[in-house]
Amino acid sequence: MSLDDRKLEVLRAIVEDYVKTREPVGSKALVERHQLGVSSATVRNDMAVLEEEGYIRQPHTSAGRVPTDLGYRLFVDRLTRVKPLSPAERRAIERFMIGVVDLDDVVHRTVRLLAQLTRQVAVVQYPSLSKSAVRHLELVPISTTRLMLVMITDTGRVEQRLVELPAPLPEGEVWELRRRVNEKLAGQKLADTPPLVQILVDECAPERRGSMICLATVLLETLVERSEERLALAGTANLTRGGVLDFQGTLRPVLEALEEEVILLKLIGDLEPSTTRVRIGDENEIDNLRSASVVSTGYGPGATIVGGLGVLGPTRMDYPGTIATVRAVARYVGDLLAQN
C-alpha cells in the first residue's frame, strides 16, 4: 500500500513538530497546530498506517509518535523543499569571510561558521591534495645530508617533509635537483604525478641517482599518501544542546568517533556525486554514530571538488535548514578558492 498525500503531510507535520519540541507528538496536538482539514481520529488512522510501514513509532504504548530513521529519510527525500537562507544568515556568511589571510584561515573560519549557523558539529576537510595541482616544489638544504622538501599547491596548501640523503650533496646539486623536479612536476595534477616521479628517477644521471631515489620516495609520500589527511572540527559543545537525550544516553561514542580523523574523512569525504548527501542514523556505517545524522557535500573552485565539508547532529535535526546552510557555505568557500 502506498502513502497518499495526506499521510505524507501527516508525516511532515510529525517530523516538524518533533524536531521543534523534542516531544512525541499526538494526533490531537497535530490537528490543532496544522491545518490538515481532518479530525484527529482520521489522523490517528493515518498514523497507524505510517507506523505499520515503519516511518514512525511510539516510545510506549499510548504515547505520541516519533519519526524513525526511515521516516526522516522519507521526509528528506520527498517532503523537503529547499529552504532559502535568511538574510541574517547570508549576512553572517559574508561577514565571516572578510579579511581571510591564508588557507588555514579559510578552513578555520568556515568550520566555525558552519557550526554556528547550524548549531551542530561542523567538519571541514582541507582541500584535498590529490585533486589539486603542484604549483611549486622547493628544496631547502638543512645540512649537507638533509633537505627540507616544501610543496605548494594551487589551492594554497603547503606541505613539508624532511629528506635524509644517503650522501652529502653540494649546493649546486640541490639547485639542479630543484630545477629538474619543478620542470617535470610543476603544474601537474597530484594524481598524475607518480609516473612522472618514476621517469625522473629513470632519467637521472647515475652519480646523483642515490639522492634522487631518496627524494622520490619522500615525494611520493607527500604527493599521494598524506594527501587527504587534515581537517578541522568545531561546535562539539553543540552536542550538549537538549541535554544528553538526543543521543540515547551518552555522548561518548559520538565524541570518540569525532576524534578519529579517519572516520570523519569517511563521513564527509566520499564525494563522488556533487550533490548534498544526508546520512540518517542507522544509515551511517560507523556504529558509534547510529544515533546521529550527517549532512555533507563537496566544495571546490568552480565545478571541481577538492574537499568535503559537513555537519553532524542528532537524527532529530532541522534537515531543510541544515542542508540549505551546508550547501550555501560550500558554495561560498568554493567561490573563495576560485578567487585565489
Partner DNA sequence: ACTGGCACTCTGTCCGCGGGAGTGCCAGAG
Partner DNA sequence: CTCTGGCACTCCCGCGGACAGAGTGCCAGT
330: phi > 0 → left, psi -120 to 50 → alpha, else beta; which? alpha
DSSP string for 104-156: HHHHHHHHHHHHHHHTSEEEEEPPPGGGSBEEEEEEEEEETTEEEEEEEETTS
**Parallel/antiparallel/unpaired status of strands 277-280 and 231-234:** unpaired
**Is residue 22 part of the contact set for DNA (CB under 7 A)?**
no
Q: Nearest distance from residue 254's CB to DNA, in Å?
A: 23
> For a copy of itself, which stretch binds (CB under 8 A), given 131-139, 195-203, 273-281, 300-308?
131-139
Q: Could you tell me the CA-to-CA distances from 169 to 147, 153, 207 in Å, in that order?
A: 9, 26, 11
**Is residue 262 part of the contact set for a copy of itself (CB under 8 A)?**
no
**Is residue 34 part of the contact set for DNA (CB under 7 A)?**
no
Helix/strand/coil for 51: helix
**Is residue 67 part of the contact set for DNA (CB under 7 A)?**
no
Task: Report yes or no: 328 and 297 within 8 Å, Cβ to Cβ.
Answer: no
57 versus 83: smaller Cβ distance to DNA: 57
Contacting a copy of itself within 102-121 (CB under 8 A)? 102
**Is residue 47 part of the contact set for DNA (CB under 7 A)?**
yes
CB atoms within 10 A of CB 244: 12
Site mask, DNA, residues 266-285, x = CB under 7 A?
--------------------
**Residue ranges in contact with a copy of itself by CB under 8 A:** 101-102, 135-136, 138, 140-142, 148, 150, 152, 156, 158, 160-162, 234-237, 239-240, 243-244, 250-252, 255-256, 258-259
**Residue ranges in contact with DNA by CB under 7 A:** 6, 24-29, 37-42, 44-45, 47-48, 51, 58, 60-65
